[in-house]
């Protein structure tokens, strides 16, 4: 990922860790669309997703010292923060009450598949990479990363043994890592 005036994430990270607000603005400009797409896919509501995006970047600002480039790429770390923020929101009492009290209009849009205004999670070509996985691994990865299920929830909802879910997750992530390294 190229940054304005900054060549690599290795140059950006020390600036972020020192509290440089300009570096944070560069980070936001570079990743906001990607992270919004991840969040929208999980919560299915653009307004909630925009609020969660802000929460996500607050967490990034607060946790920037915990980023370790030896453990993974910046984009992966950011996506995980966004994903966990969205999943936590879906498990919240507010979300539960909101879903319970939906208007008829919202239910109709949801059933018709109204996806206007959603940003696809394809800034890194992730969707195409996931589609190239074996069908069993693809399903597990899609449920976890695009729909926000935990491994335990996949076990319960789809009647797949937990060990199988874990094995397919590990295999799918290994395949994705190989594909991503080839790009």
Distances (CA, A) of 81 to 2, 66, 108, 113, 149: 21, 12, 31, 27, 15
Mean pLDDT of 132-148: 83
- Report, at the CATH architecture level, how domain 125-183 is classified: Orthogonal Bundle (1.10)
Mean pLDDT of 44-53: 88
On whether the 1-116 domain is CATH 2.60.40.10, my answer is: no
Tell whether the model's pLDDT for residue 115 goes beyond 50: no
Mean pLDDT of 34-43: 89
- The pTM of this model reads 0.56
Decide whether 1-116 matches 125-183 in CATH topology: no
How does DSSP assign 58-117, residue by residue?
HHHHHHGGG--TTT--HHHHHHHHHHHHHHHHHTSHHHHHHHHT--HHHHHHHHHT--TT
Domain ranges of the chain: 1-116, 125-183
The secondary structure element, H or E, covering residue 51 is: helix 46-63
């Amino acid at each position: 990922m190229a940054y304005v005036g900054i060549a690599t994430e290795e140059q950006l990270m020390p600036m972020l860790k020192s509290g440089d607000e300009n570096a944070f603005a560069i980070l936001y400009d570079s990743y906001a669309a990607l992270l919004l797409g991840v969040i929208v896919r999980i919560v299915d509501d653009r307004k909630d997703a925009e609020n969660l995006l802000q929460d996500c970047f607050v967490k990034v600002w607060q946790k920037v010292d915990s980023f370790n480039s030896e453990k993974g790429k910046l984009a992966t770390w950011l996506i995980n923060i966004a994903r966990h923020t969205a999943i936590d929101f879906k498990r919240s009492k507010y979300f539960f009450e909101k879903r319970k009290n939906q208007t008829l209009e919202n239910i109709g849009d949801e059933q018709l598949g109204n996806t206007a205004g959603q940003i696809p999670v394809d800034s890194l070509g992730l969707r195409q990479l996931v589609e190239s996985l074996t069908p069993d691994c693809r399903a597990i990865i899609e449920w976890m990363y695009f729909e926000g299920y935990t491994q335990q929830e996949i076990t319960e909802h789809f009647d797949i043994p937990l060990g199988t879910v874990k094995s397919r997750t590990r295999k799918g992530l290994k395949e994705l890592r190989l594909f991503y390294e080839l790009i």
